[in-house]
Amino acid sequence: MRAFLFISVLAAGCTGYNPDLGPNPFLCGDDNPRCPEGYTCELNGTQEICVEGDGDGDGDDNSLTVDGSTDGSMNGFMCANDGNLEPNDTTADAYATDAATTMRIFGPLSICPATDKDTFKIALPAGAARAITITVTWDSGTALSGAILGGGGQTLMPLSPAGERAIRACARDLPGGANYYAQVSGTAQNNYRIQLETAAACSAP
């Protein structure tokens, strides 16, 4: 929703902007505040522009920010802002979920830059063995990859294509009282959603 509002503001030109921001409403102003409330000034290539969000990890995981890479290859791609789940590139930094007891869906999240990895922890309580099912979906762009990892970070099962823009895996008979992880990565940046669920057994895909 906030992304939609952002686009709407852009379409409406300078509406709501301080006229000191100049003819292009995207560019940061020269004086403080350099951007309207709710926006921060970030360097994008050679230009400083106002982007939504303040990067303070306030729980807003739905805004989109313009990718700030300067290599020229990613111009225009809008990375979903998942900064409040980062860093989560390793099992040691994994984002802890309660997916052992409740099915969870997170997103939109992003693999940005392309070397980004996002790791989610599922702590299975002691007791009967469980099955963990991970599903990752994306709307467009380059396919992502993923895996279910064991407590030592070893790959238990890679996620496999499950339709045109989805990958999925179910690892069964996982002993309780241990940590497991879902890890998402890619060969190019992309936005995605991830569903994590546990059950007594794997269901049919």
Structure tokens at 58: 């306030």
Residue 57 CB, shortest distance to Ca ion, in Å, is: 13
Structure tokens at 71: 């290599």
Q: Which residues on adjacent β-strands are paired with residue 135?
A: 168, 195
82 binds Ca ion (CB under 5 A): yes
d(CA 39, CA 37): 6
Question: Given the rule CB under 5 A, which of 11-19, 39-47, 57-65, 109-117 is the region that contacts Ca ion?
Answer: 109-117
Residues 20-49, interacting with Ca ion (CB under 5 A):
none
116 binds Ca ion (CB under 5 A): yes
Structure tokens at 111: 């693999």
Determine which residue in the list 52, 67, 118, 197 makes contact with Ca ion, applying CB under 5 A.
Answer: 118
d(CA 183, CA 108): 15
89 binds Ca ion (CB under 5 A): yes
d(CA 194, CA 78): 18
Closer residue to Ca ion (CB): 21 or 80 = 80
Residues of this chain that interact with Ca ion (CB under 5 A) are 82, 86, 88-89, 116, 118
